[in-house]
Structure 1
Amino acid sequence: MKLRVARPTRSLAQVVRFYQEGLGFEVLGGFEDHAGFDGVMLGHRGAPYHLEFTVERGHAAPSAPSEENLLVFYIPERAEWEARVLRMQTAGFSPVRSRNPYWDVHGRTFEDPDGYRVVLYQRAWAL
């Protein structure tokens, strides 16, 4: 099974920069004017997930409905976690305080240009 998380964006170029430069995602594909939509798929080759961001021509997408709309990436190795946090900051993205303080204990939260949040969590996946 594979997972695609798809959502609209208000600024395709800015959101691509956030995920590509900040999180190291690759552009896996994209499309222009597909029934009035432009889009980009971002992810890591071989990973069982990717993100799709779309812009509907002539329509303004809403921002995130709450600060609790999260993508959480569990990074078990501390050195790798520190490198990923540094990469986000070097790309110009500063951490924000999580609405739920649980995520601040072992993680850093970053907000994308649409107000959706990504948590880099320094723990192993326990489920």
Structure 2
Amino acid sequence: MPLSYPKLRVARPTDNILLVKQFYCDGLGLQVLSSFTDHQGFDGVMLGHPQAPYHLEFTHQQGHRVGRAPTADNLLVFYLPHAVEWQAAVQRMLDHGYAAVPAYNPYWDERGRTFEDPDGYRVVLQQAAWDL
């Protein structure tokens, strides 16, 4: 029997679920895969692409504050190997009003652009193949 690979869910709380959803959907082009309201005091949304082996989940617990990212080096890195695809992704972020920020680690500025979401977490659009 061949091995299967797990799907990855990155889950993170937020105080700004609507702004975060807008950043990742409008800016990055992710889609709403699922959502829920008042599930044992939590609201949430899952974002991604239907065929991708990952998705992002953002939750908000009613009456609870989580604050901003603890450092500027909390990253999600999206590898986009084709220059045209990478430029389109960067332009989409800019067109939706998200300005690039200098990367905390200058390595990411060599072949990528970094953007900060409404919670202070950062997304790198890296113009490179993932060769690992």
TM-score (norm 2): 0.95
1:25 corresponds to which of 10, 22, 30: 30
Would you say 1:41 and 2:46 are equivalent positions? yes
User: Which residue pairs with 1:71 in the alignment?
Assistant: 76
Runs (4 or more) in structure 1 with deviation over 3 Å come to none
Could you tell me which runs of 5 or more consecutive residues in structure 2 were left unpaired when the two chains were aligned. 1-5
User: Which residue pairs with 1:6 in the alignment?
Assistant: 11
Could you tell me which runs of 5 or more consecutive residues in structure 1 were left unpaired when the two chains were aligned. none
Deviation string 1:76-107 (CA, Å, 9 cap, x unpaired) is 00010000000000011000000100000000
SS in 1 for 2:102: coil
SS in 2 for 1:54: strand
Cα drift, residue 10 of structure 1: 1.0
Q: Aligned-residue CA RMSD in angstroms?
A: 0.4
- Greater C-alpha radius of gyration: 2
Q: What is the percentage of aligned positions where both structures have the same residue? A: 61
TM-score (norm 1): 0.99
